[in-house]
Amino acid sequence: MNNTFGSEFVNAAKQAPRLFFAPLVGAINAVKSEFQRIQHGASRNIEQVQTK
Report residue 17: phi and psi, to 5°. Answer: -65, 145
> What is the rounded CA–CA span in Å between residue 49 and residue 4?
41
Kindly report the pTM of this predicted structure: 0.50
SS3 for the chain is: CCCCHHHHHHHHHHHCCHHHHHHHHHHHHHHHHHHHHHHHHHHHHHHHHHHC
CB 21 within 8 A of CB 13: yes
Tens of pLDDT along 1-50? Answer: 456 888 888 888 788 787 787 888 899 999 999 999 888 776 666 666 66
